[in-house]
Amino acid sequence: MIVCICHRVSDRDIAREVREGCASFAELQSELRVGTHCGACTDCARKTFAACQTAGEAHPMRVVPLQIAQAGA
């Protein structure tokens, strides 16, 4: 999943940085520039970073697409 559209950063990119020893969100921002342009992704990026750290990271978070029912369907 793309976390930061401005810098094309995915959850896998964040997971890789954690595996390679990234220890803080500030360091992650320095390495990937995630959350440093418009800031809209900052909450998602922080949550993804924390989840990767907690899991000892091996796999990025799994996201289930939202199903939206269409009127008349």
Which pLDDT tens digit goes with each residue over 28-60? Answer: 999 999 999 999 999 999 999 999 999 874 444
Tell me the residue ranges of DSSP E strands in the chain. Answer: 2-4, 9-10
Going along the chain from its start, the domains and CATH numbers come out as: 2-54 (1.10.10.1100)
Output the average pLDDT for the chain. Answer: 86
Rounded CA separation 35/46 (Å): 9
Q: Please state the pTM of the whole predicted model.
A: 0.74
Return the pLDDT at 47. Answer: 97
Return the pLDDT at 72. Answer: 62
